[in-house]
Structure 1
């Protein structure tokens, strides 16, 4: 596929070999601010119960795909830029 879309996914399980990962140490609001500063609209999926997390992840991916489609439509059909300034 050559649509130019990139969907970054961070898996912040909180731990690497010995200590929490750098991004998992940030409060969620600060992590959101950081990601928004990079031009992303964060969607969080959290939980410990696999079936519930699976459903939440599926919903998050659907939401992300809808957002990407909207950005692409705005850029291709309406001539609006698709970066943070164009939103």
Structure 2
């Protein structure tokens, strides 16, 4: 079963094993991009946290509202996973 890490402060990243931090930080970057997409210029004023990262290789980020309900999901795929439009 994959491990989930709660990241509320930068120091929380130290709980992620060093060999998995690159993957974690990449997905945190995706989550920040999704947040900016959702809130535009106001993104820096909209509170984030805590973030939860699951070490499952899924590369999917979901933005939740204040009640915890998912409102927007970003699924990252590799170019080889994409199929041409028919």
The TM-score with structure 2 as length reference comes to 0.34
Q: Which has the higher strand share?
A: 2
Q: Which has the larger radius of gyration?
A: 1
Determine which structure has greater relative contact order: mean sequence separation of CA pairs < 8 Å that are 6+ residues apart, divided by chain length: 2
- TM-score w.r.t. the length of structure 1 is 0.34
More helix per residue: 1 or 2?
1
